[in-house]
Amino acid sequence: DWTPSAFVEETVEDLKNKLGDDKVVLGLSGGVDSSVAAMLLHRAIGKNLYCIFVNNGLLRKNEFEDVLHQYADMGLNVKGVDASARFLDALAGKSDPEEKRKIIGRVFIEVFDDEAHLIKNVKWLAQGTIYPDVIESVSATGGPSATIKSHHNVGGLPDFMKLKVVEPLKALFKDEVRRVGTSMNMDSHLLGRHPFPGPGLAIRILGDLTPEKVRILQEVDAIFINNLRSWNLYDKVWQAGAMLLPVNSVGVMGDERTYEKCVALRAVESTDGMTADWVNLPYEFLQKTSNEIINKVKGVNRVVYDISSKPPATIEWE
């Protein structure tokens, strides 16, 4: 029978034999799969694992800095690449959801390829692919690996995609990946993180993106997620986030009429993201969170809670 510690021992041994002194490049997303894959490879080949963590400017508030520190503390050989401006420039004026996804996928590949070229004699591309990704072929929730796979036909194969591929988690389900992470003493916060889409906040800002809209949504999302944590609700929810709607609505502040943005909060229960139910969050939680958002986030005067299930609604609004 399968145990996480035996899996770690065997996999590290296999990776050592397979990789020898070769160099390996891996894209970290901040998510569970790529982080656990990195840790296994790190145990096997140490500094010969070159991790790249790209900031696409569409991550949660402070996520890039926080997670990068965490990766460094884990001993990983990681390089953080802040490409926010490159992504946001490419996205300027674009409002179609699929077009936004394609642009993000393309820019990610360009940035990753540039970085991979800086590593001399790299032989392997490591990915955090798990078993459900293998059967679906494109991950519903994956980060860089899903992005790479679904966009590899743009303008010929980038060089890093010609590398040999190593996927140490390919036979595992999500809960097994978490158990493997736990048995390597990885941080429970990191292992318990909600799924987050590769295109990030871009598909939670309906319509076109501006740096100001990203900032507003980061603030709103941070209040929502921090409150879920402090109310001990975070682990009871499968995924949560906020959507910035492309409507302004009238409000009042003091004697003044305001005409500002509306945000929708979404929290769902699910097992795999294919179907989902909205979570019955306590009214008091919603009340406090709504007040805090409206009081603290300039530019927002209305908060709504999404009570739609999937199907027919999707989890993301785009």
Binding-site residue ranges for ATP: 29-35
- Decide whether 72 or 154 has the Cβ nearer to ligand XMP: 154
316 binds ligand XMP, rule: CB under 6 A: yes
Work out how close the CB of 166 gets to ligand XMP at its nearest, in angstroms, rounded to a whole number.
Answer: 21
Alpha-carbon Rg for the chain in angstroms: 20
Sign for the pseudo-dihedral over CA of 295, 298, 302, 304: negative
Residue ranges of the annotated binding site are: 29-35
Closest to ligand XMP by CB, 134 or 250: 134
Our finding on whether 101 is near ligand XMP (CB under 6 A) is yes
Q: Please enumerate, as own/partner, the contacts of 306-312 that have beta carbons within 8 Å and a separation of 24 or more.
A: 306/243, 306/264, 306/265, 306/266, 306/278, 307/278, 308/278, 309/275, 309/276, 309/277, 309/278, 310/268, 310/270, 310/274, 310/275, 310/276, 310/277, 311/275
Between the alpha carbon of residue 271 and those of residues 12, 181, 194, 230, 237, the distances in Å are 29, 19, 12, 23, 10
Q: Is 197 in the site for ligand XMP (CB under 6 A)?
A: yes
- Residue 17 carries which side chain, given as an amino acid letter? N
Q: How many angstroms separate the most distant Cα atoms in the chain? A: 72
Q: Which of 195, 209, 223, 243 binds ligand XMP (CB under 6 A)?
A: 195
Binding region for ligand XMP (CB under 6 A) out of 109-117, 139-147, 174-182, 251-259: 139-147
Is residue 315 a contact residue for ligand XMP (CB under 6 A)?
Answer: yes
146 near ligand XMP, rule: CB under 6 A: yes
239 binds ligand XMP (CB under 6 A): yes
100 touching ligand XMP, by CB under 6 A: no
What amino acid is encoded at 251 in this protein?
A: G
Binding status of residue 289 toward ligand XMP by CB under 6 A: no
Nearer to ligand XMP, 123 or 149 (CB): 149
Residue 249 in contact with ligand XMP, rule: CB under 6 A: no
DSSP state for residue 31 in the 8-state scheme:
S
Report the interface residues with ligand XMP, using CB under 6 A: 101, 140-142, 146, 195, 197-199, 203, 239, 273, 310, 314-316
